[in-house]
Structure 1
Amino acid sequence: MLEHKFKQLEKIFSEMEQALIAYSGGVDSTLVAKIAYDVLGDQSLAITAESPSLLPEELEDARIQAATIGITHEIVQTHEMDNLNYTSNPINRCYFCKSELHDTLKPLALQRGYPYVVDGVNADDLQDYRPGIQAAKERGARSPLAEVGLTKAEVRQLSKQLGLSWWDKPAQPCLSSRFPYGEAITVGKLQRVGRAEIYLRKLGFSNLRVRSEGDTARIELPPEQIKQFVLAVELPQVVAAFQEFGFVYVTLDLEGYRSGKLNRILKPEELGVRA
């Protein structure tokens, strides 16, 4: 089954002949970039959007991974922080983020002669509340992984089979996802969340979130790592570091990390919200 989906992906890119990849450096878009380059060679191009919502470390990872693959990689600036529809953080915030991204990439693709902009949306993403997917579709972007039904687990499995050393890289959505809907997003808030997560990564905890709500930081770790964290880390030092970053209170979520947790507050009728 996985081999069949892989062949379908190769066929999709072969039929495209040229493709520009919306490349975040995450495991999904990196797999897309890998297959696109293997099929199309120099007729593929990976573009990463740089903005305050992207950790500098993630941008550096994207550069390294693209160089390893061999695909041409460029950086563009996006300006979603200039859009009040984004910074006011409504429940469809991601719609405006992806609108900015694809309104930047589509003209660039046409200017360079690339008929397709391709992203890393996978089949599992279609089962969650992802208003950004709608924005990409409206602008003609294609999602080959979703088109062939490739799930997140299969993305990792195929990445491993293709020899990509980052196949098990934790998911790292934009930093704006750390804030509850309705709380305004600022560059300063994004920076303090980013610094806090980098600090915890350096302590050896890679799969985590620092949720920000007002002056409070809530650390989310996989449930099986919570006890290890409490026993192995000097908690007063963590609190002091977070306070230096700008937080006043620091808490540990006893339920543990779970993707999409902030969407729990959404009502069923809100899940159909569009811009």
Structure 2
Amino acid sequence: MWIPRPGFKSRPRPFIPLQEGDYVIEKNIKELGQRLKNFNKVLVLYSGGVDSGVLLKIANDFTNTIALTVVHEATVDSSIRRAKHFCSVHGIKHLIVNISVLKNPYFVRNDKMRCYYCKKAVHRIAKQTAQKFGCNAIVDGVVADDFADDRPGLTAAREDGILHPLYEYGITKRDVYMIAEQLGVTPTPPQSCYATRIAYGIEINSAILSRVRSAEEKMIEEFGEPIRVRYFGEYVMVEGGKKQIEGMRKNENIVREILDYTFPECSRVIINPVPYKGW
């Protein structure tokens, strides 16, 4: 059985403010890298996003590193492509493992613990992989901001011994983008799986995931990223960055054409006026 080595603490440590200049950023990167190096070999849960991408780049620069991307029915295709490209460019050993979350009735019923059950499945694969390849720690890209939200997935991580180095160093999402620029990591819009687009209480199945995926891909093709299409049963809401909101408001006929066709049972289509996570 894989047993994690003692490593990071359970709460953030002081982190030197990154706005003090490039030298300070380099100092923080080096300190975090040295801490990761102490594990000799680490497994990074890599989603293809900027948070785990920054962590993966630092880990790979300092120690023996394997990236693991776990794919399931609700995974966003663009995330997989980004993960493959990133690891190829930086010469990082990358493993992709497919699982099925739709076989788990607790996930399918789609209550507020949905992410917990998904993460438990992901972590089982991660622990098996870590044991197989002799990794002494499993780490992910959770940042300090993430603990401001109610995230059952973090409970699963705590239970399974998954470490959060960026969080432990008090690194915020804003800090991640500054570090990404320093490391040459391309920032990407926040991304989560398609299951998060479906309102709690609505059963998740392959049909609804397919419709959400299709609608979102068409909307992104028209208006760019980020775009989120959220399904509430009686209505559908679309979110985007400032640029996307402006484009959708100017072309509401296109928005309605796409979403009315994909979700004919919905009586309303709503464009959320609030930019998605600051974009």
Instruction: Provide the TM-score with structure 2 as the length reference.
Output: 0.85
Please give the per-residue CA displacement for 1:138-165, whole angstroms capped at 9, x wherever unaligned. 111111101111000101110111111x
Shift of 1:48: 0.6
Question: What is the rounded CA distance, in whole Å, between the counterparts of 1:247 and 1:119 in structure 2?
Answer: 39
Q: Alignment partner for residue 269 of structure 2, among 244, 251, 256?
A: 251
SS at match of 1:38: helix
Q: Percent identity?
A: 31
Corresponding residue of 2:35:
12
Corresponding residue of 1:98:
119
Aligned pairs for 1:145-224 within 5 A: 145-164=166-185, 166-167=186-187, 169-214=188-233, 216-222=235-241
Shift of 1:123: 0.8
Corresponding residue of 1:45:
66
Corresponding residue of 2:22:
none
Equivalent AA in structure 1 for residue 248 of structure 2: F
Equivalent AA in structure 2 for residue 10 of structure 1: G
SS at match of 2:102: helix
Pair 1:60-2:77 in alignment? no
Shift of 1:246: 4.4
Please give the per-residue CA displacement for 1:229-248, whole angstroms capped at 9, x wherever unaligned. 221x3x43433333443444
Equivalent AA in structure 2 for residue 48 of structure 1: T
Q: Alignment partner for residue 53 of structure 2, among 26, 30, 33?
A: 30
Contact 1:86 1:93 in 2 (8 A): yes
Corresponding residue of 1:239:
256
Question: What is the rounded CA distance, in whole Å, between the counterparts of 1:228 and 1:55 in structure 2?
Answer: 23
Contact 2:140 2:162 in 1 (8 A): yes
Question: What is the rounded CA distance, in whole Å, between the counterparts of 1:60 and 1:223 in structure 2?
Answer: 25
Please give the per-residue CA displacement for 1:50-85, whole angstroms capped at 9, x wherever unaligned. 111112222111111111222111110122221111
Contact 1:170 1:206 in 2 (8 A): yes
Moved more, 3-12 or 245-254: 245-254
Question: What is the rounded CA distance, in whole Å, between the counterparts of 2:233 and 2:61 in structure 1?
Answer: 46
Shift of 1:223: 5.2
Question: What is the rounded CA distance, in whole Å, between the counterparts of 1:8 and 1:137 in structure 2?
Answer: 24
Question: What is the rounded CA distance, in whole Å, between the counterparts of 2:271 and 2:248 in structure 1?
Answer: 12
Contact 1:216 1:247 in 2 (8 A): no
Contact 2:245 2:275 in 1 (8 A): no
Shift of 1:7: 2.6
Distance 1:7 1:238, change over 3 A: same
Mark the runs of 5 or more structure 2 residues left unpaired by the alignment: 1-15, 19-24
Question: What is the rounded CA distance, in whole Å, between the counterparts of 1:122 and 1:113 in structure 2?
Answer: 26
Question: What is the rounded CA distance, in whole Å, between the counterparts of 2:255 and 2:276 in structure 1?
Answer: 22
Distance 1:247 1:56, change over 3 A: farther
Equivalent AA in structure 1 for residue 253 of structure 2: P
Shift of 1:213: 1.4
Mark the runs of 5 or more structure 1 residues left unpaired by the alignment: 260-275
Shift of 1:224: 6.2
Contact 1:208 1:257 in 2 (8 A): no
Question: What is the rounded CA distance, in whole Å, between the counterparts of 1:226 and 1:107 in structure 2?
Answer: 43
Please give the per-residue CA displacement for 1:230-275, whole angstroms capped at 9, x wherever unaligned. 21x3x4343333344344435123433445xxxxxxxxxxxxxxxx
Instruction: Provide the TM-score with structure 1 as the length reference.
Output: 0.86
Distance 1:247 1:54, change over 3 A: farther
